[in-house]
Each structure stands twice: as structure tokens, then as C-alpha cells.
């Protein structure tokens, strides 16, 4: 009970405190009346208009919803009497109706001078527009990530043997092993009043129907928990731009394996984290308390500095959801996918989450690509996240950078959000675009679609400030590792750095260079530097867009060299065109160089063999050659019969034996006018039958 009491002790002052969670920012004397707890009691026409503008501003800042608290004001003790509370509630409902908002009471609690209540104000959205919150699901393998998502999205409890997770798997080997190996997606929709709209039809979710009925959609990004798929998990955290991270911990196993790795990754990317402890139905109470104790210790550690809050009631849900964006508070849920315990608290918490990204539609559009498809009858389709700006149908955007760092203009043929066709998409939303006049092979993950107003430039080299979280030895110049920046995932080399060597815990300014393709980057982007057990995080501080790619072995250069080498080996294999030192000093493809060397070796052997044959015939004569050819043939026949006597089924004729047979048959027709060769040659011919044959 020690860990449980310790977590609750941090929570109770926040519940009892009557401070306003959403106080207006205005401090002018003209707006002083609006900050009072009595502001909504019979306001005048001007005050009503000012209150309406204030709530409208909050709705726009939070992209569609906010929480308003009645009975709390600046300088006044919390609480309203019954008559004043009803009058304030009626005024709030009137403002919500004027602004076309849904007003729902979240909770009502007693205060010092009466009652205090929180109301959820959410915009009523059209069928093709809805709020979107992205939640990345991370945790160790076998923690119950896919099972919990299957229970939340399909509304059916698990049978304890993995039935719920089968609905989320994308591949056959995932169904057989029960482990996620790719980035999965599923959605949970809420209407304006906060009710769940997911209604599976024969075990399948109709995404279009959910999006039409929902005012808010939670997109779950199901990531892999096994260490083998850490690269996929890092890409899901960086490339899909999640708003929040849900850390899953098995109550019976505790904080083990990749749990700390995923928690550290979320902290490095500045993603708020809340914890869900699963399998509480099968875990003994003492083991659960040990898990809570260890979790509490980790969250309070100097590297994390979180405030753990154990969520047990609806009041706790409202308090944690309204204060969660501060990134210090860390709610902790205890659920069971078999009995359904506390799942309603988790759904309520997800319903109250608000987006962290404040996007301005007037900014130029920037869309990062995290996946590509080829749809029959449609063409090339790209999916990703719109980081900023506004894109509508038939807009022309710049796609790039390609292998040469160029951007090409392309029109948007169609737009889909959650499999539903729409005409526009705003910043912070995910979407899929159908592009015209381009093949899928020309697009890769990490490319972007940007507005021509941005005048984008690709860069080979960039500079960043990094912090080495872990490295077994030291990092120095020319060290290579995988760099994750947004949807970009490519190996980079360290060119120089401010320190001579870097070890665990060191900070430095490092200059990197990509080894394959130039990428589109921006300053202040978060970066993850990873290679094996080496991990470093940091920010991009400077770009070098004017550095050329002469010294790089790009894909275009490799394909050009491959075609050149194939043509050279086919047309002039005997002229040594595939030597070690060619005209281009770049690294050549390994397969092409091996094939080239093999062809050159055979050509040199054939030339040398013909020269030896002609010189030997002219010097030594033909009569002795006939006798030595016959003896060599007898010796060769004995060599062929020897494997059969040893039990072999047969021998494959070697190039040298076939060449000796050809020379023997050709020499038998020559006139016999030659002297016998010296005895030394005869001795050597008996020991080397292939040379004697020549």
C-alpha cells in the first residue's frame, strides 16, 4: 500500500483545490467583471457579447472544445449559491446555443460558498469535419497493447486468450505469434455529448460511418513492443506526430524490457505520457503494489520528474484531463480487458483530451509523408500528417526532395480522411492524397508536400545539439548511425563536432551528413540518433542547403554505374573494363564488381591458354605432342574413373579438362615432323596432366 498511498497523496490537493483551471488571460479593468464568479449571473447585453467572444476565442485556440468552470473567479472564494448557480448555468447554455456548441456537465462538487461545476463545450461539427487526437500506444511486449485497443474500439471484452487483438493485426505472422511488428491504426469516435459511436458490424469497423457520426476521433497508433522492432517504434513516434503517448504496463510483469526505452523516447520527443496498467484481474495484490511502487519511483526520478496521479473516480478524470497538457502530471489507470474494470474511466479521459498543436490556416502548407500506396483505378496515394497550413482539393504542391534534391509541382486529385472523402484538410490532421502524373517508385518515406510559397530546399548536411543518452564506448568523427527527424529515417555520418569524443551523458554540437539522399529539414526539429544500443536526442540548429552532393554515392549515381558496368562486361569483357580502379572513384555495387572480376579472369585465362599452345607447337614439334597427348588422355581417363571407384555418381567436366580435350583432337590431324621434347618437360608433363595436354 505504500506506493498506492504515495500516488494518492499527490492527487488529493488538486481535487480539493478550488482554483480555476481555465482563467481568462485578460487583466484589463474593463474585463475585470468577466473574471468574477458572478459574471454569468444576469449579464447585460455588452457583457453577454464579451463573454461570448471569450468562449469563442477559447474554442478556436483548442480547435473545437474547451472546459468552462462555474463558481470560480479571481479574488473570490469558490462556490455559488443555488439560485446564482442556476442563473449562471442558464447563461452558459444560452451562449453555447448561440455559438452552436454542445454543453455537457462533467462534474459538480461542493465548495466553500456553494457549488462548483465543470462544463464541456464542444463544437457541433459537420459530417466531413471532426477533431482528431493521435495517441501512440507503447510498452513492452505482451503488455496488452493490441488487446486493449481491440476492446476499446470494438466494444467487446477479451476472452483472456487474445481474441480481441486479432482484429487489429495486419499480417499473418502477427496473428500466429500474437506480436505486433508493424504500425497499426484504429479509431475511437465520440459524439458531441461524449458518447462512444463505435458500433462494429460483424466484427468490422466502418470508419466512414464513425467519422460521420463523431465530433471527435481518437486515432490509436499501435506500435511494436519487441526490441527487434525498435526501429519501427521510433518511426511511429517521430513520423506520425502523436499528441499523447499511452504507456502500457502488465501488472504481473511490471516495468521490464522496453518499457523504460519507450518512456525515455516519449520524454525525449516532449510527448505527454499517461500510464495504463493492465491484467489487474489475474495479478495478486502484492505484485500489483510492487509494480505501482517501482512505477512511482521511475516517474519521480530526476530524468523523468513526473507527478503520478492514480485515477479512481470521475472527479479524478476531470482534474487530470484538464491539467494534463502541462506535461508534468502523469495519470495512472488500472484496467482489465477481461472484466472491463475501469475502462469507463479511460474512455472518459480520452474524450476530454485536447490537441496540443495550435495551427494557423494562413501559414503555408507542409505535409510530411509516412507511407505510400498504389491503388488500382486511382493511382499513387500518399498518407501522412499536415503539420501546418491548409490544403484543399486541386491545390498544386511541391513534392520532394528527390535523389537530386529537386521539388516538382503536383496537383492534388482527391483527399481522404479516415477513408472518407473530404474537400479540405487543416493543420494537425492526418490525410491521404491521390497524386497525378507520378509513379509510386518515385516517392519514398520522408518526402514532403509543401506550398510553393515556402521555397523549399533540400540539404545534405545539418548541425544539431545532441545529448548522448547511452553509448557503450565513445563516439568520434566518421561515426555513422540512423537519424530520425519527423518522417525522415536515414543513416548519417558525423563530419565534425565541438568535442573530440562523446560518451554517455555528454552534450555537443555535431555536424551530420546524409549518405543516400538529401532531405527536407527545418530548424528546431526534434532528432533521435540511434544505432544498436546507442541512443542520442537533440534539436536541429542549423542547415546547410548549398552543400553539393558530389562526394555522395546517390541512388542515381549507383544506377548509372550499374548500367555502365553491365554494358562494359557484355561488350568488352576481355579488355579489363571492370578493374579495381575505374574512371569513377565511387564505391561500386558489390555484385557488379564480382561479376566483372570473374569475367576478366576467365578471359585472361583463355588468352594465356591459346598463347601457350601456339608457342609449344612451334618449339617442340608435333610428333612428341601426339604421344604425350595420348598419355595425358589416358591419365585423364583414369582421373575420371577414380570418383566412380570411390562411390561417386559422376564428375562434372572442368573448363581445363574440356580445353585439353579440344587441343588433343585438333593436334591429331597435324603432320608428324617434330623432335621429341627434353626429359625435363616429360617429367613435368607426368606430374601435371593439364599442361602435358597442351
Q: What nine digits make up the cell of 377?
A: 483505378
Name the more confident of 125 and 517: 517
pLDDT of residue 630: 46
Cα separation, 134 vs 97, whole angstroms:
29
pLDDT of residue 546: 72
Q: Is 73 a domain residue?
A: yes
Q: Is 13 a domain residue?
A: no
Mean pLDDT of the chain: 78
Question: At 213, is the pLDDT very low, low, confident or very high (cuts 50, 70, 90)?
Answer: confident
CA dihedral 277, 279, 280, 281 (to 10 degrees): 160
Pairing mode, strands 273-278 and 329-334: parallel
The C-alpha angle with vertex 361 and arms to 358 and 366, in degrees rounded to 5, equals 85
Strand blocks (E) in 526-634: 526-531, 534-544
* 693 pLDDT more than 90: no
The C-alpha angle with vertex 143 and arms to 142 and 147, in degrees rounded to 5, equals 85
pLDDT of residue 605: 63
Do 110 and 135 lie in one domain? The reply is no
* 694 pLDDT more than 80: no
* 666 pLDDT more than 60: no
Question: At 187, is the pLDDT very low, low, confident or very high (cuts 50, 70, 90)?
Answer: very high
Do 111 and 53 lie in one domain? The reply is yes
The CATH number assigned to the domain holding 93 equals: 3.30.110
Tens digit of pLDDT for each residue in 342-392? 999 999 999 999 887 777 778 999 999 999 999 999 999 999 999 999 999
Q: Is 638 a domain residue?
A: no
Question: At 39, is the pLDDT very low, low, confident or very high (cuts 50, 70, 90)?
Answer: confident
pLDDT of residue 76: 77
DSSP state, 313?
S
pLDDT of residue 38: 78
Q: What nine digits make up the cell of 244?
A: 499523447
pLDDT of residue 506: 94
Cα separation, 410 vs 558, whole angstroms:
27
- Overall average pLDDT of the 420-427 stretch: 91
Least confident of 39-48, 434-443, 659-668: 659-668
Q: What nine digits make up the cell of 522?
A: 527545418
Contact partners, residue 616, CB within 8 Å, separation at least 6:
625, 694
Residues above pLDDT 70, as percent of the chain = 70
Peptide bond into 401 cis (omega under 30): yes
Cα separation, 87 vs 73, whole angstroms:
16
Pairing mode, strands 184-190 and 216-222: antiparallel
Q: Is 437 a domain residue?
A: yes
Contact partners, residue 375, CB within 8 Å, separation at least 6:
381, 434
User: Domain total for the chain?
Assistant: 4
Q: Which of 514, 544, 574 represents a domain boundary (last residue)?
A: 544
Sequence length of the chain is: 694
- Overall average pLDDT of the 627-653 stretch: 45
Least confident of 24-33, 246-255, 286-295: 24-33
Tens digit of pLDDT for each residue in 145-183? 888 988 898 888 877 766 666 666 666 666 666 666 677
Do 338 and 373 lie in one domain? The reply is no
For residue 255, give its domain range: 131-352
- Which residue, 211, 184, 181, 182, is CA-closest to 198? 211
In sequence order, what DSSP letters do the residues of 221-260 get, joined into one string? EE---SGGGHHHHHHHHHHS--SEEEEEEETTT-S-TTHH
Do 119 and 143 lie in one domain? The reply is no
Amino acid at each position: 500500500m505504500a506506493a498506492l498511498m504515495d500516488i494518492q497523496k499527490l492527487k488529493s490537493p488538486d481535487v480539493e483545490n478550488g482554483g480555476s483551471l481555465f482563467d481568462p488571460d485578460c487583466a484589463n479593468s474593463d474585463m475585470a467583471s468577466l473574471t468574477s464568479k458572478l459574471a454569468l449571473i444576469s449579464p447585460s447585453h455588452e457583457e453577454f457579447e464579451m463573454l461570448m467572444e471569450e468562449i469563442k476565442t477559447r474554442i478556436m485556440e483548442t480547435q473545437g472544445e474547451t472546459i468552462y468552470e462555474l463558481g470560480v473567479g479571481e479574488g473570490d472564494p469558490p462556490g455559488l449559491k443555488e439560485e446564482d448557480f442556476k442563473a449562471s448555468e442558464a447563461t452558459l447554455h444560452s451562449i453555447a446555443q448561440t455559438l452552436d456548441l454542445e454543453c455537457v456537465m462533467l462534474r459538480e462538487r461542493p465548495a466553500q460558498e456553494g457549488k462548483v461545476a465543470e462544463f464541456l463545450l464542444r463544437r457541433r461539427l459537420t459530417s466531413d469535419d471532426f477533431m482528431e487526437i493521435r495517441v501512440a500506444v507503447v510498452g513492452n511486449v505482451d503488455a496488452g497493447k493490441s488487446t486493449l485497443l481491440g476492446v476499446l474500439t470494438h466494444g467487446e471484452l477479451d476472452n483472456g486468450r487474445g481474441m480481441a487483438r486479432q482484429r487489429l493485426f495486419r499480417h499473418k505472422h502477427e496473428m500466429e505469434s500474437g506480436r505486433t511488428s508493424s504500425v497499426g491504426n484504429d479509431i475511437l469516435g465520440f459524439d458531441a455529448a461524449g458518447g462512444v459511436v463505435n458500433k462494429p458490424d460483424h466484427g468490422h469497423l466502418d470508419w466512414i460511418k464513425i467519422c460521420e457520426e463523431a465530433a471527435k476521433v481518437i486515432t490509436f497508433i499501435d506500435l511494436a513492443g519487441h526490441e527487434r522492432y525498435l526501429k519501427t517504434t521510433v518511426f511511429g513516434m517521430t513520423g506520425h506526430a502523436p499528441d499523447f503517448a499511452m504507456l502500457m504496463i502488465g501488472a504481473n510483469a511490471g516495468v521490464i524490457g522496453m518499457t523504460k526505452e519507450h518512456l525515455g523516447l516519449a520524454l525525449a520527443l516532449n510527448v505527454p505520457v499517461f500510464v495504463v496498467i493492465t491484467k489487474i484481474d489475474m495479478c495478486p495484490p502484492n505484485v500489483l503494489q510492487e509494480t505501482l511502487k517501482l512505477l512511482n519511483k521511475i516517474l519521480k526520478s530526476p530524468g523523468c520528474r513526473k507527478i503520478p496521479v492514480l485515477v479512481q473516480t470521475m472527479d479524478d478524470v476531470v482534474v487530470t484531463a484538464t491539467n494534463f497538457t502541462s506535461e508534468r502530471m502523469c495519470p495512472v489507470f488500472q484496467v482489465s480487458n477481461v472484466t472491463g474494470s475501469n475502462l469507463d474511466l479511460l474512455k472518459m479521459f480520452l474524450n476530454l483530451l485536447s490537441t496540443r498543436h495550435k495551427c494557423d490556416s494562413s501559414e503555408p502548407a507542409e505535409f510530411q509523408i509516412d507511407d505510400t500506396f498504389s491503388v488500382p483505378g486511382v493511382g499513387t496515394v500518399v498518407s501522412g500528417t499536415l503539420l501546418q497550413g491548409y490544403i484543399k482539393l486541386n491545390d498544386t504542391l511541391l513534392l520532394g526532395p528527390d535523389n537530386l534534391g529537386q521539388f516538382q509541382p503536383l496537383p492534388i486529385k482527391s483527399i481522404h480522411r479516415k477513408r472518407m472523402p473530404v474537400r479540405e484538410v487543416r493543420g494537425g490532421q492526418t490525410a491521404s492524397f491521390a497524386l497525378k502524373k507520378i509513379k509510386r517508385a518515385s516517392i519514398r518515406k520522408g518526402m514532403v508536400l509543401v506550398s510553393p510559397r515556402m521555397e523549399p530546399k533540400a540539404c545534405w548536411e545539418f548541425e544539431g545539439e545532441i545529448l548522448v543518452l547511452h553509448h557503450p564506448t565513445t563516439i568520434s568523427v566518421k561515426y555513422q548511425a540512423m537519424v530520425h527527424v519527423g518522417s525522415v529515417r536515414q543513416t548519417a555520418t558525423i563530419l565534425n563536432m565541438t568535442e573530440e569524443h562523446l560518451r554517455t551523458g555528454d552534450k555537443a554540437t555535431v555536424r551530420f551528413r546524409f549518405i543516400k539522399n538529401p532531405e527536407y529539414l527545418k530548424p528546431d526539429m526534434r532528432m533521435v540518433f540511434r544505432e544498436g544500443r546507442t541512443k542520442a536526442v537533440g534539436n536541429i540548429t542549423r542547415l546547410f542547403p548549398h552543400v553539393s552532393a558530389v562526394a555522395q554515392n546517390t541512388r542515381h549515381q549507383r544506377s548509372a554505374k550499374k548500367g555502365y558496368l553491365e554494358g562494359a562486361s557484355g561488350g568488352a569483357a576481355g579488355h579489363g573494363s571492370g578493374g579495381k580502379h575505374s574512371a569513377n572513384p565511387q564505391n561500386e555495387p558489390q555484385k557488379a564488381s564480382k561479376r566483372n572480376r570473374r569475367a576478366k579472369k576467365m578471359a585472361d585465362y583463355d588468352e594465356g591458354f591459346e598463347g601457350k599452345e601456339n608457342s609449344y607447337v612451334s618449339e617442340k614439334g608435333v610428333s612428341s605432342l601426339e604421344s604425350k597427348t595420348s598419355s595425358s588422355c589416358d591419365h585423364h581417363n583414369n582421373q575420371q574413373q577414380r570418383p566412380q571407384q570411390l562411390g561417386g555418381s559422376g564428375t562434372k567436366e572442368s573448363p581445363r579438362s574440356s580445353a585439353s580435350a579440344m587441343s588433343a583432337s585438333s593436334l591429331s590431324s597435324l603432320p608428324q615432323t617434330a623432335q621429341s621434347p627434353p626429359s625435363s618437360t616429360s617429367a613435368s608433363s607426368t606430374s601435371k596432366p593439364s599442361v602435358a595436354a597442351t
